């Protein structure tokens, strides 16, 4: 990638995409273009060329792809339905894509064989990209630490966080680390046809995550275990939580509880030269979101 290259960031207003944009601006000389459905509400810096577009609308997407040298693609849908059109459009305009996939995609299985719905949809998108002839990199991150922002309302209101599967162990990832790997993959040699398995540096259960937030905020916080059905009803009543994601999330937790404890990878450090950030670091960076 040279100084004059233009990179299109899809999902630029999201947890990871916003970090990809800011890190591209901070550490590279590439021109940064962003796709947003509502540019006026995107809140991106003036250095970013924000284009209106929707992955479900090929015309606007084609316009945003004009003159682009590489694309950071995230997939916001619960199915792979418009993926063939999107991958075709990217292929017509640029040779290079870095795809934010998911650790739910399991090696050695076809998309149809993937046991989890997220693994199926992201597995399909990975497969289409790999078949397209694009020079690709797939990022397969473990659970995002930003998911724990779902507890912010409960933490503001009291000292308990209620939910199901408090014993589920996770290797939570800081969005800045996912973005740091994406930026290296977009701008440095050696990442074409790589599948980067990304995790945080430690494994913590949900109950331990709640305790960590309390320690960092200087308040005693505790996990209160709910039955799956009570947790389901709670999530369905939460206007900030998408209803179609409630059952896949709880099914995913049940699977994670039954699976072997997650392994830690060193990919973040190998790619970026810096160890993955701890969950304590993530809470420190987001403390204001919990008060």
Ligand X SMILES: NC(=O)c1ccc[n+]([C@@H]2O[C@H](COP(=O)([O-])OP(=O)(O)OC[C@H]3O[C@@H](n4cnc5c(N)ncnc54)[C@H](OP(=O)(O)O)[C@@H]3O)[C@@H](O)[C@H]2O)c1
Nearer to ligand X, 4 or 92 (CB): 92
Q: Cα–Cα distances in Å, from 237 out to 158, 176, 230?
A: 18, 30, 11
Residue from 8, 17, 196, 253 touching ligand X (CB under 6 A): that is 17
Question: 10 Å Cβ neighbour count for 263?
Answer: 10
Q: Is 78 in the site for ligand X (CB under 6 A)?
A: no
Question: In angstroms, rounded to a whole number, what is the distance separating the alpha carbons of residues 120 and 126?
Answer: 10
Q: Is 37 in the site for ligand X (CB under 6 A)?
A: yes
Q: CB 57 → ligand X: shortest distance, Å?
A: 8
Q: Are 274 and 268 in contact (CB under 8 A)?
A: yes
Show contacts with ligand X in window 117-136 (CB under 6 A). Answer: 118
- The SS3 assignment for 273 reads coil
Q: Where are the beta strands (DSSP E) in the chain?
A: 6-10, 31-36, 49-52, 70-74, 96-100, 135-141, 160-163, 169-170, 194-198, 204-205, 222-225
Question: In angstroms, rounded to a whole number, what is the distance separating the alpha carbons of residues 144 and 172?
Answer: 5
Residue from 74, 86, 221, 271 touching ligand X (CB under 6 A): that is 74
Only segment of 73-81, 128-136, 188-196, 250-258 that touches ligand X (CB under 6 A): 73-81
# chain residues binding ligand X, by CB under 6 A? 25
φ/ψ region of 43 (left if φ > 0, alpha if ψ in -120 to 50, else beta) reads left
Residue from 123, 141, 201, 262 touching ligand X (CB under 6 A): that is 141
Only segment of 11-19, 128-136, 151-159, 255-263 that touches ligand X (CB under 6 A): 11-19
Q: CB 198 → ligand X: shortest distance, Å?
A: 9
- What DSSP character marks residue 249? H
Residue from 76, 115, 158, 242 touching ligand X (CB under 6 A): that is 76
Residue from 24, 30, 55, 105 touching ligand X (CB under 6 A): that is 55
Q: Are 135 and 97 in contact (CB under 8 A)?
A: yes
Q: Which residue is nearest to ligand X (CB)?
A: 14
Q: Are 267 and 197 in contact (CB under 8 A)?
A: yes
Q: CB 110 → ligand X: shortest distance, Å?
A: 19
Class of residue 291 by CB neighbours under 10 A (exposed 0-12, middle 13-18, buried 19+): exposed
Q: CB 264 → ligand X: shortest distance, Å?
A: 16
Binding mask 160-179 for ligand X (x = CB under 6 A): --------------------
Q: CB 188 → ligand X: shortest distance, Å?
A: 22
Q: Are 167 and 257 in contact (CB under 8 A)?
A: yes
Show contacts with ligand X in window 87-106 (CB under 6 A). Answer: 100, 102-103
Residue from 1, 14, 68, 169 touching ligand X (CB under 6 A): that is 14
Beta partners for residue 254, in sequence order: none
Q: Is 56 in the site for ligand X (CB under 6 A)?
A: yes
Q: Is 75 in the site for ligand X (CB under 6 A)?
A: yes
Q: Is 186 in the site for ligand X (CB under 6 A)?
A: no
Instruction: Enumerate binding residues for ligand X (CB under 6 A).
Output: 11-17, 35-37, 42, 54-56, 74-76, 100, 102-103, 118, 141, 143-144, 147
């Amino acid at each position: 990638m040279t100084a004059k290259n233009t990179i299109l960031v899809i999902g630029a207003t999201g947890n990871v995409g916003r970090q990809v944009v800011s890190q591209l601006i901070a550490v590279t000389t590439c021109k940064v273009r962003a796709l947003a459905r509502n540019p006026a509400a995107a809140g991106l810096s003036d250095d970013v060329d924000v284009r209106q577009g929707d992955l479900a609308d090929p015309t606007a997407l084609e316009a945003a792809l004009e003159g682009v040298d590489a694309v950071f693609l995230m997939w916001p849908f619960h199915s792979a339905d418009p993926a063939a059109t999107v991958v075709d459009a990217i292929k017509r305009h640029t040779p290079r894509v870095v795809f934010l996939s998911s650790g739910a995609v399991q090696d050695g299985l076809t998309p149809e064989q993937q046991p989890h719905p997220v693994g199926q949809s992201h597995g399909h998108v990975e497969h289409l990209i790999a078949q397209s002839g694009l020079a690709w990199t797939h990022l397969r991150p473990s659970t995002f630490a930003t998911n724990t922002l779902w507890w912010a309302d409960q933490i503001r209101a009291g000292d308990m966080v209620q939910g199901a599967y408090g014993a589920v162990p996770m290797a939570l990832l800081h969005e800045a680390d996912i973005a740091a790997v994406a930026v290296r993959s977009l701008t440095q040699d050696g990442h074409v046809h790589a599948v980067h398995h990304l995790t945080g540096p430690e494994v913590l259960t949900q109950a331990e995550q709640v305790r960590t937030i309390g320690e960092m905020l200087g308040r005693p916080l505790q996990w209160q275990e709910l039955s799956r059905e009570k947790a389901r009803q709670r999530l369905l009543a939460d206007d900030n939580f998408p209803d179609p994601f409630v059952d896949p999330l709880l099914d995913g937790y049940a699977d994670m509880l039954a699976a072997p404890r997650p392994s830690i990878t060193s990919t973040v450090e190998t790619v970026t030269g810096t160890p993955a950030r701890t969950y304590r670091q993530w809470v420190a960076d987001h403390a204001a979101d919990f008060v």
